[in-house]
Amino acid sequence: EDQVTQSPEALRLQEGESSSLNCSYTVSGLRGLFWYRQDPGKGPEFLFTLYSAGEEKEKERLKATLTKKESFLHITAPKPEDSATYLCAVQPREGYMLTFGGGTRLMVKP
Amino acid sequence: NAGVTQTPKFRILKIGQSMTLQCTQDMNHNYMYWYRQDPGMGLKLIYYSVGAGITDKGEVPNGYNVSRSTTEDFPLRLELAAPSQTSVYFCASSSLKNQVNYGYTFGSGTRLTVV
């Protein structure tokens, strides 16, 4: 059974204080790992897809990296508008269903 | 470009009542999904569909039913509502591209309270 565990559950940062969110996964062969951002009262919005170990993708202050067992979402010099819940999901090589982690709630204070 | 549209946004039901949550997508995606999200619990798959006329159970299907008569619409039916069905419900759609579940797009959600 595919499993995705995100840590920490919640993270409070001061504006400008860089940090990383972790997504550990167990899957029978990885087809893709996805990161989403979810604002309060809204549906998750797609950020990145990573396909293989060593791959990195960037978008503004966010950078996602992937190893064979985990993915990190690095946030550099965060701003209050980066406050949201970040969700990680995996798709196995055999199949198309995504399994989601529980998310990390990020709060950035000015 | 509407994406995935869900209605209603909020609803309060009494125990034993029934209702249908509507979901429509305009991206011509074959795959559609219903999730529920409870505080701190992540997304749990209720039902999914790989195309019109084809549906299947997900992780937590009890108390729910779905139908898929068209590519665009995927309504979720709650029969005999129970307090355990209090949750936020998300509809999503996607397509496969090079075997990757691509373009997974969520609606804005329906917040349901059963009292």
Contact B42 A49 (CB under 8 A): no
Total structural domains in chain B?
1
Name the nearest CA neighbour of A56 among A72, A78, A40, A41.
A72
Statement: residue B71 has pLDDT above 90: yes
Please state the φ and ψ torsions of residue A28, each to the nearest 5 degrees: -85, 75
pLDDT band (50, 70, 90) for residue A97: confident
Banded model confidence at residue B37, pLDDT cuts 50, 70, 90: very high
pLDDT of residue B101: 80
CB atoms within 10 A of CB A16: 11
Which domain CATH number covers B80? 2.60.40.10
CB–CB contact B100 A102 (8 Å):
no
CA B28/CA B86 separation, integer angstroms: 30
Chain A stretch 70-99, residues whose beta carbon is closer than 8 A to a beta carbon of chain B: 87, 89, 91, 96-98
Chain B, window 17-76: residues with a beta carbon less than 8 angstroms from a chain A beta carbon: 31, 40-43, 45, 48
Q: Who has greater pLDDT, B39 or B112?
A: B112
Domains with residue ranges and CATH for chain A: 3-104 (2.60.40.10)
A20 within 8 A of A75, measured Cβ to Cβ: yes
Confidence band for B104, pLDDT divided at 50, 70 and 90? confident
Find the closest chain B residue to A5 by CA distance: B42
Kindly report, residue by residue over A14-57, the tens digit of the pLDDT.
999 999 999 999 998 999 999 999 999 899 999 999 999 999 99
Please name the member of A87, A96, A101 whose beta carbon is closest to the beta carbon of B96.
Answer: A96
Percent with pLDDT over 70 in chain B: 99
| CA angle, residues B63, B40, B20, in degrees to nearest 5 | 30
Please give the residue range of the domain that contains residue B53.
4-114
The confidence score (pLDDT) of residue B1 equals 63
pLDDT at residue number B65 = 97
Residues 6+ apart with CB under 8 A from B100: A31, A32, A49, A51, A91
Burial class (CB in 10 A: 0-12, 13-18, 19+), A74: middle
**A17 Cβ under 8 Å from any chain B Cβ:** no
Give the residue with greater pLDDT, A73 vs A97. Answer: A73
- Chain A: residue nearest B109 by CA? A43
Q: Does A55 touch chain B (CB under 8 A)?
A: no
Compute the Cα dihedral for B23, A101, A39, B98 and give only its sign. Answer: negative
Q: Please report residues of A whose CB lies closer than 8 A to that of B106.
A: 43-45
Q: Is the pLDDT score of B98 beyond 90?
A: no
Residue B101 at interface with chain A, using a CB cutoff of 8 Å: yes
